Amino acid sequence: MATHTRAALRQANAERPDAEYALVVGLYVAALLTPVVMLGLARAIADAAILYISFLGAVTGITIVAGWAVSRTPGLAVSLGRRDATWLLAVVPFAWFVGVFGAAAVVGVEPPGIAALLAMVATVGGLFLGLILTTMSRTRHAAATLEGVDDLAQWEARWPPRWRRVSVGVAVIASVGYVGGIVAQVAFGVDWAGSLYLLMFLWTPLAGAVNPRTFRVTEAGLVVERPLQQQFRPWSAFASYDLTDDTLVIRPTAWWRPAHRCDRADIEDVDAAVTALNQCSQEFSPTD
């Protein structure tokens, strides 16, 4: 099986990214680099209409060039998908927000309007595209690794009830804080309250707790499927599993990676799941 997996990955690494993937990478690069171009042009051009047309031209040009370069880079999607640090693609765009508004806070000077606008566009657009790119990379890596590999067991399950209650509670608190902050800022002039929207970020890690995920146990590793996303990890990335009256927990080797927690009541055939995990447990690695 390991030989088959390596052969599948070698074949995938020899393939060039598809057009859809190249387009998303191109747009992501454009989100990061277009503000640089526009800040340079803004020093010489004051007309808003010309700047807007230049913005569209810069986005289009950078997307085409970056997308073309990516389409000619074999194995990029699979290579990114196998790396844990791929999620940093969604973090990098925040450099614009921190750079512009952080520098303004330190120096005490209000940033130019176009700089603030470009920082917001780059951060939000880059974050959104980075998340999509991460998802696409992991899905392509999983597809390449699992080509020709059969499932030993499969089940659908939500997070355990306690975690679902926590998710709903945090969502309610974040929503109330977000709406209350806007009301306080607009109606009562409490400026700092406008920053309460940041509470929504607390809920992000728990956003999918109430939705079922599909788990697939294969000889090559564990596959976790969510809508539009498929993630694969080899068994060497896991340390153990625990089965209680309420929960099935598959624990990763790395201490910083969250465990996969399943509501036992959602698993149709618990015995089949446990049998498959026992069969693969010899490949587990000790906890770091």
Q: Spell out the domain ranges in the chain.
A: 2-145, 150-158+211-288, 160-210
When mean pLDDT is compared across 20-34, 35-49, 65-79, 93-107, the lowest value belongs to: 93-107
DSSP character at residue 229:
E
pLDDT tops 70 at residue 167: yes
Residue 151's closest CA among 98, 225, 68, 89? 225
DSSP character at residue 267:
-
Kindly report the backbone phi and psi dihedral angles of residue 73, in degrees, each rounded to the nearest multiple of 5, phi listed first.
Answer: -110, 95
Element of type H or E holding 263:
strand 260-263
Rg of the chain over Cα atoms, rounded to whole angstroms, equals 23
What pLDDT is stored for residue 104 in this prediction?
67
DSSP character at residue 261:
E
Q: What is the mean pLDDT of the chain?
A: 87
Mean pLDDT computed over 166-194:
84
Mean pLDDT computed over 166-173:
85
What pLDDT is stored for residue 204 in this prediction?
67
Q: CATH fold of 150-158+211-288, please?
A: PH-domain like (2.30.29)
Query: How much of the chain is in helix, strand and coil states, percent to nearest 5?
Result: 65, 15, 20
Q: What percent of the chain has pLDDT over 90?
A: 55
What pLDDT is stored for residue 202 in this prediction?
67
CA distances to 20, 56, 134 from 30, in Å:
15, 10, 16
What pLDDT is stored for residue 203 in this prediction?
66
Mean pLDDT computed over 101-105:
72
Q: How far apart are CA 72 and CA 167, in angstroms?
A: 43
Are the C-beta atoms of residues 27 and 63 closer than 8 Å to each other? yes
Kindly report the backbone phi and psi dihedral angles of residue 180, in degrees, each rounded to the nearest multiple of 5, phi listed first.
Answer: -60, -35
What pLDDT is stored for residue 224 in this prediction?
95
What pLDDT is stored for residue 48 in this prediction?
87
What confidence category does residue 6 fall into, taking pLDDT thresholds of 50, 70 and 90? Answer: low
What confidence category does residue 186 fall into, taking pLDDT thresholds of 50, 70 and 90? Answer: confident
What pLDDT is stored for residue 12 in this prediction?
53
When mean pLDDT is compared across 20-34, 92-106, 159-173, the lowest value belongs to: 92-106
pLDDT tops 60 at residue 13: no
What pLDDT is stored for residue 228 in this prediction?
81
Rounded to the nearest 10 degrees, how much is the dihedral formed by the CA atoms of 162, 212, 91, 170?
A: -30
Residues 6+ apart with CB under 8 A from 251: 238, 239, 240, 241, 242, 259, 287
What pLDDT is stored for residue 118 in this prediction?
92
When mean pLDDT is compared across 8-12, 191-195, 202-206, 268-272, the lowest value belongs to: 8-12
Chain segment 206-220, per-residue pLDDT in tens:
667 778 999 999 999
